[in-house]
Amino acid sequence: DAGVIQSPRHEVTEMGQEVTLRCKPISGHDYLFWYRQTMMRGLELLIYFNNNVPIDDSGMPEDRFSAKMPNASFSTLKIQPSEPRDSAVYFCASSQGSLGQYFGPGTRLTVL
């Protein structure tokens, strides 16, 4: 059974560029979560979806960040324009109800 799939695994970009992170949740899961992890701030929830509908985006840092879930098997997190302070590891996780979240391997983003 495939787990949560994220791409790319590593992304290096220059300040001001648009960055798109991708996530494929586990089939049958109805919740999808986007997190950011840094040494300074730890693990932060950015946004989560239920049945493709955004439920809580209070963790999205600012308007430069946006997330979409066009269907049950795909979600994107976009940063436009990117800044050096966005450098972090971004995780996607999915769950079936509240039965526990399953995390992807993460995307390590470096903004120069």
Residue 22 vs 81, nearer CB to other proteins = 22
For residue 9, report the phi and psi dihedrals to the nearest 5 degrees: -80, -30
How big is the chain, counted in residues?
A: 112
Closer Cβ to other proteins, 71 or 98, answer by number? 98
Quote the least distance from Cβ 80 to other proteins, whole Å. 25
Q: How far is the CB of 42 from other proteins (least distance, A)?
A: 6
Cα-based angle 23, 78, 61 (whole degrees, multiple of 5): 110
The least CB distance from residue 53 to other proteins, in Å, is 12
Cβ proximity to other proteins: between 31 and 65 the closer is 31
Report residue 47 as tokens: 């946004």
Residues that bind other proteins (CB under 8 A): 4, 31, 42-43, 45, 48, 50, 55-56, 91, 93, 95, 97-106
Residue entry with tokens 């701030």: 41
Minimum distance between the CB of residue 98 and other proteins, rounded to whole angstroms?
5
Per the CB < 8 A criterion, the answer to whether 69 and 23 are in contact is no
The answer for 63, left when phi > 0, alpha when psi is -120 to 50, beta otherwise, is alpha
DSSP 9: S
* CB-nearer residue toward other proteins: 72 or 81: 72
